[in-house]
Amino acid sequence: MPYLVSSDFPQKPAGERFRALVERGGIARLPGTHNGMAALQARAAGFEGLYLSGAAMTASMGIPDLGIITVDEVAFFIRQIARASGLPLLVDGDTGYGEALNVMHMVRTFEDAGAGAVHIEDQLLPKKCGHLNDKKLAAANDMATKVAAAAKARRHLYIIARTDAAASEGIDGAVARAKLYMEAGADAIFPEALTTADMFREFAAHMPGVPLLANMTEFGRTPFFTADEFEAMGYRMVIWPVSSLRVANKAQEKLYATLKRDGSAKAMVPEMQTRAELYDTIGLAAYEALDASIIATVVPEPA
């Protein structure tokens, strides 16, 4: 129960825990979690770190991923995921919500909300999903300024610089940007929307010793690779950003179609999380026992 009981809460800052996850060896597997329930289910499955996707977050709000939402709206999602799971969370920081001072405000807000890491991308607004066409790139020096601002603002937050340059500037252009971003203070690099195993390997070969993040999104430009395959290509982190939302949305779509057709959800019951499973996942019994134990310590027995 990491949210309410201080002795159960992680003692080290989330950024330090995220860094340790990346540096311990192997590949950090970071499934997308679009809300607190998804975070609890990912933790129960055995994951040790999580990811909050801007695309999943905005889609769950019913709007597209075009840089519309605010820092405070993202912080709401960070808080619920960090509180529910107690795990180090990587957060999609889009373009940093403005220029240098805005980026610094984002870092402070995300750290205070419980984030362990953030990635910032080198696009211009209105930004787009990295696997779409017609992305507009920021000047490399302007992006480096944002990275430097983030590094100056953070206490412990792990900073990942994302570059979307491979599609328009090739691997050489993406590598040149990545090296500049590392010099500016990034801890790791996220090359977005690479399309072949050779591209992943070539990028990694040009960035020896640099922690790299791979994005394994469905329906995008990157073919399917496993976490082990990404590790063999030289990557230290992998995200599955929107998978949880896509599965949940498909199930909800089926539910509403069934309700409309039948006027009842009975046909969907075999596909539902039961009441007992729900209460077990959110730890209802533990919360009730905690409440009873606190009351017992302060309410005297009747004479």
DSSP 231-287: HHHT-SEEEE-SHHHHHHHHHHHHHHHHHHHHSSSGGGGGGSPPHHHHHHHHTHHHH
Catalytic annotation, pick one of 94, 111, 122, 187: 94
> Is 94 an active-site residue?
yes
Asked whether the beta carbons of 57 and 64 are under 8 A apart, the reply is: no
Catalytic annotation, pick one of 51, 97, 181, 235: 51
> Is 261 an active-site residue?
no
DSSP 11-55: SS-HHHHHHHHHHTSS-EEEEB--SHHHHHHHHHTT-S-EEE-HH
Q: Under the phi-then-psi rule, with left for phi > 0, alpha for psi from -120 to 50, and beta for the rest, what region is 299?
A: beta
- Determine what percent of the chain falls in helix, strand and coil, rounding each to the nearest 5: 50, 10, 35
> Is 121 an active-site residue?
yes
Q: Give CA–CA dist 80/40, Å, rounded.
A: 10
Catalytic annotation, pick one of 34, 43, 92, 97: 92
Catalytic annotation, pick one of 43, 215, 231, 236: 215
Q: Give CA–CA dist 143/182, Å, rounded.
A: 11
Catalytic annotation, pick one of 65, 164, 202, 231: 65
> Is 65 an active-site residue?
yes
Catalytic annotation, pick one of 19, 129, 235, 246: 129
> Is 279 an active-site residue?
no
Catalytic annotation, pick one of 121, 122, 164, 187: 121
Catalytic annotation, pick one of 111, 164, 192, 202: 192
Catalytic annotation, pick one of 17, 154, 162, 177: 162
Catalytic annotation, pick one of 17, 29, 34, 119: 119
> Is 162 an active-site residue?
yes
> Is 129 an active-site residue?
yes
3-state secondary structure of 160: strand
> Is 92 an active-site residue?
yes
**Residues with catalytic function:** 51, 65, 92, 94, 119, 121, 129, 162, 192, 215
